[in-house]
A and B are shown apart, each in its own frame.
Chain A
Amino acid sequence: MAKTLTQEFVKGLWADVPPFRLVLGLCPVLAVTKTVENGWGMGVAVTFVLVCSNILVSALRKVIPPKVRIACFIVVIATFVTVVELVMQAYAYPLFLKLGIFIPLIVVNCILLGRAEAFAYKNGVTASIADGLGIGIGFTLSLTALAAVRELLGAGTITLYETPIQVMGASFEPFTFLVQAPGAFVSLGLMLCLMNLLGKK
């Protein structure tokens, strides 16, 4: 059972990577991955909330009575989500406009509640930080990867900060289907398939 910190961290990057392996938290995965910028912005926001809530939940795990633990988790998570929302509004307003409703929706994201319930409530603070960082970075990377595929093929660009960079040549005909909602499902499915193929070996 006892794993090293590195193992706790690394598992979030591959073995337990949220959208592809646990298939959790798909709402933002499908909705915001239109551009790379949105993808990693969302990922960073989730990582921050995840690490903070993991720290607080594991620090308080002996104090929180089991019967009201879910209520406590929600209070902790909602607090940090609101902090992220305010900070993003103050320092990255265009990103805030694009992510819009999906920032407050992090509160009900099952990755956060899942990590609080399944990990932070049962483990120490340092292990929980490693777990939160690993899962968060894994989530960010998967969102960025999915967004990169969709944006590159769907619009021929990569948006890192504000301005889209034209990657494909002028003769490239954008495959617009991919940036629309059904394209999100198709590319997510293909990514899952690829992950499973690679995992089998």
Chain B
Amino acid sequence: MREIIKMVVVLSVLCAFSGGLLAAVRDGTKENIEVQQLVFVKGPAIKAILAEATNDPITDRFKLKVGEDERGFFVGMIDGKPKAVAFEGFGKGFGGDIGVMVAVTLEDDKVLGVGVTTHSETPGLGSRAKTDPKFAAQFKGLALTEAFQVKNDGGAIDALSGATVTTRGVCAALTQAGTLYKEIKPQLVENAKGFAK
């Protein structure tokens, strides 16, 4: 009996100790991990769509609580003023959710650039949404406040050949981003002002 009690006690103490240690380490590294993920996963897309910005949008970011979750927003300085904001929208593609980073100018609500961040589309077909610069270029200059639709569905976007569903996913992600934008624009403007130098 004593042996069993000893086993239980030793194992429990060990597990409690390791649990505590892991919680401490996780707490200590959480912020750094977030930054690293931004730099290496979303960073390239943000840099590409905010190419005109003179600052580093990844350092100049802020968070807003939208509905239940917190979302990140990235500020782009153009001509010395915080004119553009980039953020992410999600839409359902062929193989799961597609994450699309979209940069918009606050003055006229026009799209400055879009870039796919995360997707699980078919390599070589749907994956061109991320790699084909021509596909991304056609969104530039459109109004973010209006719904995006593929030409087949009566919209203005040329679908990638063989990947209409993916294109619809990207459009859905942008439309979602647009809805969000309309909802929180005053807050965005307010927050972006804080980055003016």
Contact = CB atoms under 8 A, between A and B. Distances in A.
Interface of A: 60, 63-65, 67-68, 71-72, 75-76, 78-79, 82-83, 86-87, 89-91, 93-94, 97
A107 B25 CA distance: 18
A18 B85 CA distance: 53
A82 B40 contact: no
Interface stretch (B10-18, B50-58, B146-154): B10-18
B29 A68 contact: no
B33 A72 contact: no
Contacts of B22: 79, 82-83, 86
Contact of B11 (A71, A79, A93, A97): A71
A57 to B, nearest CB: 11
B39 A93 contact: yes
Contacts of A90: 29, 32-33, 36
Nearest to A64: B10
B26 to A, nearest CB: 6
Contacts of B14: 60, 72, 75-76
B190 interface: no
Contact of A87 (B6, B15, B29, B37): B29
Contacts of A97: 40
A181 B40 CA distance: 27
Contact of B10 (A65, A78, A83): A65
B contacts with A: majority SS? helix
Interface of B: 3, 6-7, 10-11, 14-15, 18, 21-22, 25-26, 29, 32-33, 36-37, 39-40
Given A79-B18, A86-B29, A94 B10 contact: no
Given A78-B18, A83-B22, 10 more contacts: A63-B10, A65-B3, A71-B11, A79-B18, A86-B22, A90-B32, A91-B32, A93-B33, A93-B39, A93-B40
Nearest to B35: A90
Contact of B37 (A75, A83, A86, A93): A93
Contacts, number: 54
A190 B69 CA distance: 55
Contacts of A93: 33, 36-37, 39-40
Most chain B Cβ neighbours within 10 Å, of A65, A76, A87, A94: A65
A89 B33 contact: yes
A93 B25 CA distance: 16
Given A65-B7, A87-B25, A87-B29, A75 B36 contact: no
B6 A65 contact: yes
The 10 closest A-B pairs by CB, nearest first: A90-B32, A79-B18, A93-B36, A90-B29, A68-B7, A86-B29, A89-B33, A90-B33, A65-B7, A93-B40
B25 A75 contact: no
Contact of A83 (B6, B25, B39): B25
Nearest to A84: B25
A79 B33 CA distance: 18
Nearest to B18: A79
Contacts of B40: 93-94, 97
B11 A72 contact: yes
A79 B21 contact: yes
Contacts of A60: 14
Contacts of A67: 3, 7
20 contacts: A64-B10, A65-B3, A65-B6, A65-B7, A71-B11, A72-B11, A72-B14, A75-B18, A79-B18, A79-B21, A82-B22, A83-B21, A83-B22, A83-B25, A86-B33, A90-B29, A90-B36, A91-B36, A93-B37, A93-B40
